[in-house]
Amino acid sequence: MSTGKHESYWIETSDFPPFEKLQTDINTELCVVGGGIAGITSAYLLTKKGYKVTLIEALKLGHGTTGYTTAKLSAQHKLIYDQLISIFGEKTAKIHYQAAMETIEFVQETEKELQADFQFNMEPAYVFTDEEKQIRQIEKEWSAYKKLGIPGALLDDIPLPISAKKAVRMDQQAQFHPLLFLQAMTTYITANGGTIYEDTRAETINEVGKTTVKLKDGGSVTADHVVIATHFPFYDFKGAYFARLDMARSYIVSGKSPLAYPGGMYISVDSPSRSVRSAKDKNGETLWLIGGEGHRPGKGKQMKEHYSNLRNWGRSEFDMEEFDYNWSSEDFISLDSLFYIGRITEQTKNIYVATAFRKWGMSGGITAAKEITSLIDTGESLYQDIYDPARNDGTKGIRTLAKNLVEVSKELVSGKLEKTTKSIDELEPGEAGKIRNKGKLIGVYKDNDGTLHKVDTTCTHMGCEVHWNDAETTWDCPCHGSRFRASGEVIEGPAVKDLKKAD
Ligand code: FES
């Protein structure tokens, strides 16, 4: 029985051309930092408007969160509309819904315009529960749909062959292949005067005089406008994003089932949560994508178990035997559940940020690109500033902020007192552990060739203790979600510096 590759289906079936690394000083009109859906869509829209755009990506295009998503292009966003109405009122909830619906239209139109195939198809989206205690929430969400005029239905069952006590359906939603979408826009950008660099990590921004993005390995980009689309903003002290973002890591497995896929995209509100959608593999056969098992990054012991839990669920519910792919991603959530899109602070007029897509980065990333393009091009918000990062985060926000700060303080203390695990000699190939050297914790990973990689496990962002993730073979930080390779190189921010090597 195959458990499949440790890779994302989207990455495996896309083919971006390589781009060179930037290490010199350059000038441009617009600098977009981040080669995921928010960054590439921003670069595409701004190139279409005639701006001279330079996009820099720390890794490879599409290899951040966008390559590891479920790629549901939906306005459903789990349960949110009842909550948005009660916190912000119907007007804001309606703008949020319409913004997401416009992203569906946008992808459909872009597919036609660029004469590409994004494997786009319309599907209804379902949020369901099999727990008595969640039924009321589903009913309240349906009442919110009715208030907002959202087409759908309240149901006692779902088309999937699993038990569900109540569900709410949203009609006219969509799913697609996110990297085919990015690939086509990348081709357009480079064919129309835009420049792209990969393996080029931004480290900080110098705002004295002109706005200059300083690069980690030397070189810089000076620009009239800078768009930070790095998922967690790398320039996070400005705007205090390190305190205003909550985070979650979740997992996806894909494989085939002997059952016929009934159509639709699904997500449960139960614990653990489950998400299901379908896609077509290279041979046109139906892949079942099963997601869930969300948890705070850097927390928990055996991360590999999250994949096996999903596979076991696929086996028991859908008779899946063979699995093809396994992947995971990290998501950030704002204090009040709305995205942070716009000027990084009220006073900063030419640095923009796009983050906190709350696991709905396909619609969130495109909404961000449209909003930032409008702010740069006309100075006007398309969405009446509901996503303005400088907004007041509200009472709910303050509670989450306090919870985040407590979490970080606890980690700063408890992480340093952590007990060591095994001695170096006891480590098996592919295994990692921590040892103490003169009172300092050192992370040691023994790779499959037996080579030892030793790092100082102090996160280079704000000093929390990173923890080993055996599913991804990375060091993950529980405080703000930075991730590092086993050998210490930073993969995901807010950290921009590698872990220090240790003896
Ligand atoms: Fe902030 Fe590690 S301390 S990500």
pLDDT digits (tens, 9 = 90+) for 233-290: 888 777 788 788 888 889 999 999 999 999 999 999 999 999 999 999 888 999 999 9
pLDDT at 435: 84
Diameter of the chain by CA atoms? 64
Give the angle subtended at the CA of 89 by the CAs of 87 and 94, to the nearest 5°: 120
Strands 211-215 and 53-56: unpaired
Backbone angles phi, psi at 127, to 5 degrees: -110, 130
Atom index in ligand 1 nearest the CA of residue 494 equals 4
How many CB atoms lie under 10 A from the CB of residue 265? 24
- Is 482 near ligand 1, meaning CB less than 6 Å away? yes
Asked if residues 95 and 255 have their Cβ atoms less than 8 Å apart, the reply is: no
Atom 3 in ligand 1: residue holding the nearest Cα: 462
Q: Which of 230, 234, 411, 480 to mutate to test the pocket of ligand 1 (most atoms within 8 A of CB)?
A: 480
CA 14 from chain center: how many Å? Answer: 18
388-427 pLDDT, tens per residue? Answer: 998 876 555 566 666 666 777 677 666 666 666 677 788 8
Domains located in the chain, CATH noted: 15-69+179-244+336-393 (3.50.50.60), 76-81+118-173+247-332 (3.30.9.10), 414-492 (2.102.10.10)
Q: Which of 416, 479, 492, 497 to mutate to test the pocket of ligand 1 (most atoms within 8 A of CB)?
A: 479
pLDDT at 397: 59
pLDDT at 440: 82
- Alpha helices by DSSP H, listed for 254-353, are 304-318
Rounded Cα distance, 503 and 501, in Å: 7
Distances (CA, A) of 196 to 51, 210, 221, 223, 395: 14, 21, 12, 14, 41
pLDDT at 399: 64
Atom index in ligand 1 nearest the CA of residue 411 equals 3
pLDDT at 250: 92
DSSP characters over 389-454 = TTS--HHHHHHHHHHHHHHHHHHHHHGGGPPP---GGGPPTTEEEEEEETTEEEEEEE-TTS-EEE
Distance from residue 478's CA to the centre of ligand 1 (Å): 7
- Is 483 near ligand 1, meaning CB less than 6 Å away? no
pLDDT at 394: 59
Asked if residues 357 and 369 have their Cβ atoms less than 8 Å apart, the reply is: no
Q: Strand, coil or helix: what is 377?
A: helix
Q: Strand, coil or helix: what is 143?
A: helix
Token pair recorded at residue 26? 């350059």
Q: What pTM was computed for the model?
A: 0.93
Rounded Cα distance, 493 and 482, in Å: 5
Rounded Cα distance, 127 and 451, in Å: 47
Asked if residues 100 and 77 have their Cβ atoms less than 8 Å apart, the reply is: yes
Rounded Cα distance, 472 and 323, in Å: 17
Q: Which residue has the tokens 């009239």?
A: 224
Local structure of residue 465 (DSSP, 8 states)? B
Atom index in ligand 1 nearest the CA of residue 242 equals 1
pLDDT at 420: 64
Rounded Cα distance, 274 and 233, in Å: 28
Q: At what angle do helices 81-88 and 90-113 cross, to 10 degrees?
A: 130
List beta partners, residue 352. 227, 343
Instruction: Pick the closest to residue 289 from 276, 303, 302, 308 (CA basis).
Output: 276
Instruction: Pick the closest to residue 9 from 287, 249, 250 (CA basis).
Output: 287
pLDDT at 434: 87
- Is 495 near ligand 1, meaning CB less than 6 Å away? yes
- Is 464 near ligand 1, meaning CB less than 6 Å away? yes
Residue stretches of the chain with pLDDT short of 50: none
Give the angle subtended at the CA of 447 by the CAs of 444 and 451, to the nearest 5°: 80
pLDDT at 77: 93
Atom 4 in ligand 1: residue holding the nearest Cα: 480
- Is 459 near ligand 1, meaning CB less than 6 Å away? yes
- Is 499 near ligand 1, meaning CB less than 6 Å away? no
